[in-house]
Amino acid sequence: MTVVLFDLDGTLVDTAHDLGLALNMQLARHGQPALPHDDIWPIASHGSRGLLALGFGITPQDANFEAMKHEYLDLYQSVFTNNPQFLPGIADLLDALDAKGIKWGIVTNKPRRFSVDLTKAVIMGNTNLYERAACLLCGDDAAQPKPAPDTLLMACVAANALPSECIYVGDAERDVQAGKAAGMKTVVALFGYIAETDKPAEWGADALIDAPSEVLSFL
């Protein structure tokens, strides 16, 4: 394998604090009580759709969903670079990949308006996550985000690699679906935002890992 591609939220970076902060700000605005971090953590990987379902019980089929989504994203815009941190073990893994000369990149469903500044806010030595990654593909870079394979295939082009030469690591079923559709080996990060009701063993991934360092065994 020559390229390792990662999901962003809940795989590389812990963004649950700021995602949850924005949700609790919105709940307060609507006179609702705040939710504890433990409730938000397993939902954080599902973005605004999952968080609005958690906080307000609404779905895209509800008439007020788009307005609530825009309100949430505006609130998130004000806090999203407050506290992004690598998940434990990720910085060491990325350093090890660099030392081996193995390219790595990021493929996320997060919109580009958040992804670029967020990755720039995650410091890596004298630089940052954005500068170190071989590529960054975002949910709005293609007509169809994950679980469609489009952004993963775009990442292959950016990294000058074939899909068969890539591993995709993520913490959601859609990551596995997208990776398989793209023709990549897929790995589930069990250390990510996985709910008790999730069944990652049934997602059809090539492997499940408990720690970031286990990625090295597939190279």
Check if the beta carbon of residue 105 is closer than 8 Å to that of residue 75.
Answer: no
**82/118 Cα distance (integer angstroms):** 9
Give the model's pLDDT for residue 208.
98
Q: How many CA atoms lie within 13 A of 144 on its CB side?
A: 9
What backbone torsions phi and psi does residue 176 show, to the nearest 5 degrees?
-65, -45
Q: Is the pLDDT of residue 2 over 90?
A: no
Q: How many CB atoms lie within 10 A of CB 60?
A: 10
What are the structural domain ranges in the chain? Answer: 3-14+84-218, 16-77
pLDDT digits over 195-217, tens only?
999 999 999 999 999 999 999 99
DSSP state letters, 161-211: --GGGEEEEESSHHHHHHHHHHT-EEEEETTSS--TT--GGGS--SEEESS
Catalytic residues: 7, 9
Check if the beta carbon of residue 118 is closer than 8 Å to that of residue 13.
Answer: yes
pLDDT digits over 63-99, tens only?
999 999 999 999 999 999 998 999 999 999 999 999 9
pLDDT digits over 14-71, tens only?
999 999 999 999 999 999 999 999 999 999 989 999 999 999 999 999 999 999 999 9
The CA-based dihedral angle spanning residues 76, 79, 80, 81, taken in that order and rounded to the nearest 10 degrees: 160
Q: How far is CA 134 from CA 39, 129, 160, 161, 174, in A?
A: 34, 10, 10, 11, 22
Give the model's pLDDT for residue 53.
98
- DSSP helix, strand, coil percent of the chain (3-state; round to 5): 50, 15, 35
Mean pLDDT, residues 144-172 taken together: 98
pLDDT digits over 100-156, tens only?
999 999 999 999 999 999 999 999 989 999 999 999 999 999 999 999 999 999 999
Domain 3-14+84-218: CATH architecture, name and number where available: 3-Layer(aba) Sandwich (3.40)
Cβ neighbourhood burial of 144 (10 Å; 0-12, 13-18, 19+): exposed
Q: Cβ contacts of residue 25 below 8 Å, gap of 6+?
A: 75, 79
What backbone torsions phi and psi does residue 44 show, to the nearest 5 degrees?
-60, -30
Structure tokens that stand for 144 in this block: 């169809």
Q: Is the pLDDT of residue 1 over 80?
A: no
Give the model's pLDDT for residue 125.
86
